[in-house]
Amino acid sequence: MRSARPLLLPLLLLPCLGARAQQVDVCIVIGQSNAVGAGVTALLPAAFQLPERVRLLGTAARDRNTFGPELGLAERLAAGLPERALAIVKHAASGTSLHGDWRPGRGEWDQQGFGAEFAQFRSVLARDLAALRAERLEPIVRGVVWVQGEADASVTAPADAAAAYGERLAGFVRRVRSTVGCADLPFVIVQVLPRPAADMPQRDSIRAAQAAVAAEVPFTFLVPTDDIALRADEPGNTQPDDVVHFGSLGLLEIGRRAADLLLPLVKAAPAGAVNLFNGKDLTGWVVDGRADAARVVEGELRLAARTRLRGEATYGDFTLELEARGEFALLISPEALPAIGARRPAGAPLRVAAREWTRFRVTCTGGVLQLRDDERALQHERTPSRAPGHLWLLGETAESAVRQVRIAAAAVPELAGSGDDGFVRVDAWPEALPRGTDGNLELVGKADPHWSAATIAGDLDVVLDWRAAKGEGTLLALRLGDAPGLTVHLHGDGRANAAGGGPLLVSVDHSPGIGDGVWHRLRLQVSRSELQLAIDGRAPEPLPLPGIDWRGPIGLEALAGKATVANVYTRARQSP
């Protein structure tokens, strides 16, 4: 064994730097057999080694005799980022397909639609990032390398496996990004099957789909492999006819090429933060309204009164720092579900006010926004959901200005993104249903229940936004279906309890909650036997159901006080 080999899979703990967590750049490798890798460590170049600051996790650390693309990836990243700690999280399984094993479902709440490997990947990623955090490290996911496609090109694959591969891969990219909590996470696709193979009749279709996704989906890249050494080319190989799997040096080169695509993007955020304002123009921003309502003057981004400025990128959890002068509002609005109300983007705004230039910090963690200056916390609000959202700057009654705007996205795989595609708004309510001036529903206690004209049946997801006036006691009931049905009690302070026909699901508090004046978002996933309920993006809580058959309309009833309701949406859940 070469002396360099013990450094291939280092298991040393990265040191903690006092009370401040050390950042660790994390890259993910996922896929099937070529991601598992048939590389033989004995065939690695004699000079190959990885520094001790590199950690290999997941399935990369289980086999010291073989390897996949992760070694070349780690080697090149470590060389390009000499001062940075690095971890590679790998999850791969031979023979697995995108149409089945890696199926990501229709959304993050559609866990019954997850393929086995996609579900396992989420668990592995959450486990390994949690382990790094337990060592008081701060892992930040920087990119993904996807090595898969052979199973969908195979003669044994279903008829639509190749035809739908491109659409499925584009959806898979979105789901991986929402799992990580970064809508712009770089995603590298390794092109498979450099040579035709008799048992891979759909080779050309898969390769074309991979190239198309890389060309059409933002921040997605392709590693060409036509010149990469295959296992059949490897001297002494026991399978000289294998033109499906890459050889040892080929896998090393694939990892290096993937790293070359990722390095410029990783280097752009050396401390985990990127500039959102370049001091010269509005690159990266979209003005909602009059074009000259936002302008750049002497390195300052100035907002006219009642201006709405939206950042192009989306973020899940993040830390934002900026210098500001004047008065404006800042909020995060989800990209997928429409805004609460009709007059501004969804969400409870953070109010920024300063006569002189002042530095502010905004954090978004688990759907909770906090605004603080250098001395104290100024305001807490909740986002409408944990969905990745755009950053909005909303001008108030006079001109305001910002400068030095920097954001650091955080990776939070424990509670993933929105999964909001496919929802249908429930707008067919009786004409007599009271509405406010903004078009939202206004419900007052002790009135009869209001039932939707549309009916529901079967397994479904539900999203509902509600709020109660600050200081007022409110209890709202959301009913799904006729008797026995399901009732969810929504309190004015953002709590929720559920009860189903028959046995009580949980201890239901029928007393009103004192309203806090902000919008709350309820998300439900229901089936005959289980309910998952989450408020404001917190982790869903599974509750058993007594075999309820979901049929009938949706009902809204204010049991106490007054509540405002907006954005009632439903979506039929996709079968596994």
Per-residue pLDDT at 157: 96
Per-residue pLDDT at 182: 66
- In this structure, the answer to whether residues 236 and 372 fall within a common structural domain is no
Three-state secondary-structure class, residue 190? strand
Three-state secondary-structure class, residue 144? strand
Confidence of residue 11 (pLDDT cuts 50, 70, 90): very low
The pair of structure tokens assigned to 505 is 């699901």
- In this structure, the answer to whether residues 244 and 278 fall within a common structural domain is no
Per-residue pLDDT at 387: 56
* Domain presence at residue 419: no
What's the CA gap between 48 and 445, in Å, rounded? 72
- In this structure, the answer to whether residues 469 and 349 fall within a common structural domain is no
- In this structure, the answer to whether residues 319 and 237 fall within a common structural domain is no
Confidence of residue 573 (pLDDT cuts 50, 70, 90): low
Q: Of the residues 232, 264, 296, which one is the last residue of a structural domain?
A: 264
- In this structure, the answer to whether residues 247 and 279 fall within a common structural domain is no
- In this structure, the answer to whether residues 183 and 65 fall within a common structural domain is yes
Whether the per-residue pLDDT at 575 is higher than 50: the answer is: no
CA distance to 77, 88, 522, per residue, from 59 (Å): 19, 10, 37
Per-residue pLDDT at 39: 92
Computed on alpha carbons and rounded to an integer, the radius of gyration of the chain in Å comes to 26
Tell me whether strands 137-147 and 187-190 are parallel, antiparallel or unpaired: parallel
Counting Cα atoms < 13 Å in the Cβ hemisphere of 517 gives 5
- In this structure, the answer to whether residues 34 and 181 fall within a common structural domain is yes
Per-residue pLDDT at 439: 65
User: How many domains does the chain fold into?
Assistant: 3
Long-range CB contacts (within 8 A, 24+) of 439-442: 439/341, 439/342, 440/340, 440/341, 440/564, 440/565, 440/566, 441/556, 441/564, 441/565, 441/566, 442/562, 442/563, 442/564, 442/565
Domain that holds residue 74: 23-264
Q: Say if residue 343 is exposed, middle or buried (CB neighbours under 10 Å; 0-12, 13-18, 19+).
A: exposed
Lowest mean pLDDT, pick from 69-78, 139-148, 507-516:
507-516
Q: Of the residues 350, 385, 410, which one is the last residue of a structural domain?
A: 410
Tell me the mean pLDDT in the region 401-421: 60
* Domain presence at residue 15: no
What's the CA gap between 319 and 406, in Å, rounded? 8
CATH number of the domain within which 352 lies: 2.60.120.560
Whether the per-residue pLDDT at 161 is higher than 50: the answer is: yes
Higher pLDDT, 491 or 237: 491
CATH number of the domain within which 27 lies: 3.40.50.1110
Per-residue pLDDT at 3: 32
Lowest mean pLDDT, pick from 236-240, 389-393, 412-416:
412-416
What's the CA gap between 258 and 445, in Å, rounded? 60
* Domain presence at residue 428: yes
- In this structure, the answer to whether residues 301 and 388 fall within a common structural domain is yes
User: Which of 19-23, 117-121, 332-336, 410-414 has the highest average model confidence (pLDDT)?
Assistant: 117-121
* Domain presence at residue 79: yes
Confidence of residue 165 (pLDDT cuts 50, 70, 90): very high
Per-residue pLDDT at 508: 55
pLDDT, tens digit, for every residue of 86-101? Answer: 999 999 999 999 999 9
- In this structure, the answer to whether residues 170 and 300 fall within a common structural domain is no
* Domain presence at residue 184: yes
Report whether the peptide linkage leading into residue 484 is cis, meaning its omega lies within 30 degrees of zero. Answer: yes
CA-wise closest residue to 187 among 61, 30, 328: 30
| Torsion angles phi and psi, residue 210, rounded to 5 | -60, -45
Lowest mean pLDDT, pick from 45-59, 75-89, 412-426:
412-426
CA-wise closest residue to 436 among 314, 547, 341, 323: 341
Lowest mean pLDDT, pick from 326-330, 373-377, 386-390:
386-390
- In this structure, the answer to whether residues 216 and 317 fall within a common structural domain is no
Per-residue pLDDT at 14: 30
Tell me the mean pLDDT in the region 197-224: 93
Whether the per-residue pLDDT at 437 is higher than 70: the answer is: no
Whether the per-residue pLDDT at 106 is higher than 80: the answer is: no
Beta-carbon contacts of 134 under 8 Å, excluding residues fewer than 6 positions away, are none
pLDDT, tens digit, for every residue of 168-189? Answer: 999 999 889 878 866 668 899 9
What's the CA gap between 314 and 185, in Å, rounded? 10
Quick check: 138 and 182 in contact, CB under 8 A? Answer: no
* Domain presence at residue 100: yes
Confidence of residue 15 (pLDDT cuts 50, 70, 90): very low
pLDDT, tens digit, for every residue of 120-154? Answer: 999 999 899 889 988 888 788 899 999 999 999 99
- In this structure, the answer to whether residues 28 and 174 fall within a common structural domain is yes
* Domain presence at residue 10: no
Whether the per-residue pLDDT at 4 is higher than 70: the answer is: no
CA-wise closest residue to 110 among 418, 499, 538: 418
pLDDT, tens digit, for every residue of 35-67? Answer: 999 999 889 999 999 999 999 998 876 556 889
What's the CA gap between 175 and 105, in Å, rounded? 8
What's the CA gap between 182 and 389, in Å, rounded? 10
User: Which of 264-268, 270-274, 371-375 has the highest average model confidence (pLDDT)?
Assistant: 371-375
* Domain presence at residue 343: yes
Q: Of the residues 375, 410, 445, which one is the last residue of a structural domain?
A: 410
Confidence of residue 222 (pLDDT cuts 50, 70, 90): very high
Residues making up the chain, counted from first to last: 576
The DSSP-derived string for 321-343 is: EEEEEEEEEEEEEESSSPPSSSS
- In this structure, the answer to whether residues 386 and 472 fall within a common structural domain is no
The pair of structure tokens assigned to 307 is 């201006």
User: Which of 147-161, 205-219, 517-531 has the highest average model confidence (pLDDT)?
Assistant: 147-161
